[in-house]
């Protein structure tokens, strides 16, 4: 059995914060791109930026899974909307993570997947008499209210 030794400089390195790994496009999504210019201000907000990015990613996952579920239940072709969201979101591995949960939706324990399933179920129960396109519009409005982009 061989032991792999790491050089000392690798062991003693400080952890690189997730916020530092975000691209300018990703920072744009959470409206923090201006902080990339002022690194000192950026460093002071690492934890806040990481939290906002995580919240953004969870919101995108919930929305994409909701679109998949609603499209499945209503027999709608949502592929262009799904593709557009994946392309514009800047969230790495968005499609593969969401598809994994979609295929295992009944046994999923991830909070965002459970919330998406509950949201679609609630939407279908509340608005039974509405047509499919109205339900999709309501889903999008709910999402934007949840992330704070639409004021009530």
pTM of the model: 0.75
Determine the length of the chain.
Answer: 152
Give CA separation, 115 vs 66, 71, 124, in Å: 9, 17, 14
Whether the pLDDT of residue 151 is over 70: the answer is no
pLDDT of residue 139: 80
pLDDT of residue 99: 93
Give CA separation, 124 vs 48, 64, 105, 128, 140, in Å: 35, 17, 17, 6, 14
Helix/strand/coil for 149? coil
pLDDT of residue 109: 87
DSSP 16-83: PPHHHH--HHHHHHTT-GGGGTSHHHHHHTHHHHHHHHHHHHHHHHHHHHHHHHHHHHHT---HHHHH
pLDDT of residue 12: 40
H/E stretch holding 7: none
Summarize pLDDT for 11-69 with one digit per residue, the tens.
Answer: 444 445 577 788 888 888 888 777 767 777 777 888 888 899 999 999 999 999 999 98
Q: What is the CA radius of gyration of the chain?
A: 19
Please state, in angstroms and rounded to a whole number, the distance separating the CA atoms of residues 84 and 87.
5
pLDDT of residue 108: 84
Whether the pLDDT of residue 147 is over 50: the answer is yes
How many Å separate Cα 47 from the centre of its chain?
18
* Residue ranges of domains in the chain: 61-146
pLDDT of residue 75: 80
pLDDT of residue 16: 52
Summarize pLDDT for 75-134 with one digit per residue, the tens.
Answer: 888 888 889 999 999 999 999 999 999 999 888 889 999 998 988 888 888 877 777 778
Environment class of 123 (CB within 10 Å of its CB; exposed 0-12, middle 13-18, buried 19+): buried
């Amino acid at each position: 059995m061989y032991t792999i030794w790491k050089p000392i400089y690798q062991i003693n390195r400080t952890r690189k914060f997730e916020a530092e790994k975000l691209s300018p496009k990703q920072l744009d999504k959470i409206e923090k791109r201006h902080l990339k210019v002022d690194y000192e201000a950026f460093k002071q907000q690492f934890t806040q930026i990481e939290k906002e990015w995580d919240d953004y990613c969870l919101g995108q996952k919930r929305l994409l899974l909701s679109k998949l579920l609603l499209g499945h239940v209503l027999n709608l072709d949502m592929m262009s909307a799904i593709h557009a969201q994946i392309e514009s979101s800047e969230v790495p591995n968005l499609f593969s993570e969401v598809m994994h949960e979609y295929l295992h939706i009944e046994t999923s324990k991830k909070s965002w997947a459970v919330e998406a399933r509950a949201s679609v179920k609630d939407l279908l129960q509340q608005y039974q008499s509405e047509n499919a396109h109205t339900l999709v519009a309501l889903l999008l409005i709910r999402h934007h209210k949840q992330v704070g982009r639409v004021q009530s």
